[in-house]
């Protein structure tokens, strides 16, 4: 039976790799995106994966978007909450809007998407929710109190919701990537990036496909006994 999956922020970077990995598992994948229509069209043309536009930080838009996917594609079995933004700055210089936008999208998006899909998964007796956290939600990061708080919140959200879903066949897990060779990391100044790589025991940045393989396992039938877990994929940069 082919499962239907939504990957938020699914047309670029780690999200694109996840969308492709789930498609290659035989799932029907819908990639959500919020901004760039041209990039989304290029993604669909390249992969054959449909792209649906809404802001996951908007509660009603998420409910409506998931309802549209359910009506046009079918009941949603898998949700990967990958969408995220950064608005970095030290606390002294961080505006409330910088704080609020990151919390609204990165953490609020997980709530909104779960609210839109969890009940259906529970009723059907099968579901997979995978939330993309971050090494910086585990270890903290200078200049990222908003991002670190949101990503740390995702890890707690995951553990709590996992307890609600377990007896209904719905697993809820998180993946905490380290530094991955995406556009977001490419924007980091070269001198800073060199220092980051020097702290990674395996001596390189991760690849988006490496995160996608972890997501694919958690979304599979084989992942059914894993719930409430955070999988760290970071090259050994943070161990605990």
Q: How far is CA 81 from CA 19, 133, 164, 203, in A?
A: 12, 9, 18, 28
* Biggest distance spanned by C-alpha atoms of the chain: 53
Smallest Cα–Cα separation from 179: which of 220, 131, 135?
135
**Placement of tokens 């949603």 in the chain:** 76
CB 21, CB 215: distance < 8 Å: yes
CB atoms near residue 142 (< 10 Å) = 9
Task: Give me the catalytic one of 33, 52, 147, 179.
Answer: 147
- For 5, which DSSP code? E
Q: Residue 133 in contact with residue 106, Cβ under 8 Å? A: no
Of 110, 107, 117, nearest to 165 by C-alpha is 117
Going by C-alpha positions, the residue among 43, 129, 34 that lies closest to residue 84 is: 34
- 147 catalytic, yes or no? yes
- Listed residue (125, 19, 9, 3) closest to 73, CA to CA: 3
Q: Find the helix packing angle between 13-24 and 37-47, rounded to 10°.
A: 30
Q: How many CA atoms lie within 13 A of 100 on its CB side?
A: 4
**Which sequence positions are flagged as catalytic?**
147
């Amino acid at each position: 039976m082919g499962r239907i999956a939504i990957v938020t922020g699914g047309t670029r970077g780690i999200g694109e790799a996840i969308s492709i990995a789930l498609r290659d598992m035989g799932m029907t994948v819908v990639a959500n995106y919020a901004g760039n229509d041209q990039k989304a069209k290029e993604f669909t043309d390249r992969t054959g994966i449909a792209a649906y536009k809404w802001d996951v930080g908007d509660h009603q838009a998420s409910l409506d978007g998931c309802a549209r996917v359910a009506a046009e594609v079918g009941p949603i079995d898998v949700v990967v909450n990958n969408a995220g933004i950064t608005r970095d700055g030290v606390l002294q210089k961080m505006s409330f809007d910088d704080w609020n936008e990151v919390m609204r999208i990165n953490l609020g998006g997980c709530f909104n998407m779960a609210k839109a899909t969890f009940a259906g998964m529970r009723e059907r007796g099968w579901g997979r929710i995978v939330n993309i956290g971050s090494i910086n939600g585990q270890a903290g990061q200078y200049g990222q109190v908003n991002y670190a708080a949101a990503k740390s919140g995702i890890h707690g959200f995951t553990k709590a919701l996992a307890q609600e879903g377990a007896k209904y066949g719905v697993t809820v897990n998180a993946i905490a990537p380290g530094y991955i060779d995406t556009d977001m990391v490419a924007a980091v100044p070269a001198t800073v990036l060199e220092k980051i790589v020097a702290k990674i025991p395996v001596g390189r940045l991760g690849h988006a496909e490496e995160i996608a393989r972890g997501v694919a396992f958690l979304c599979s039938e084989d992942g059914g006994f894993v719930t409430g877990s955070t999988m760290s994929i970071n090259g050994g940069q943070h161990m605990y």
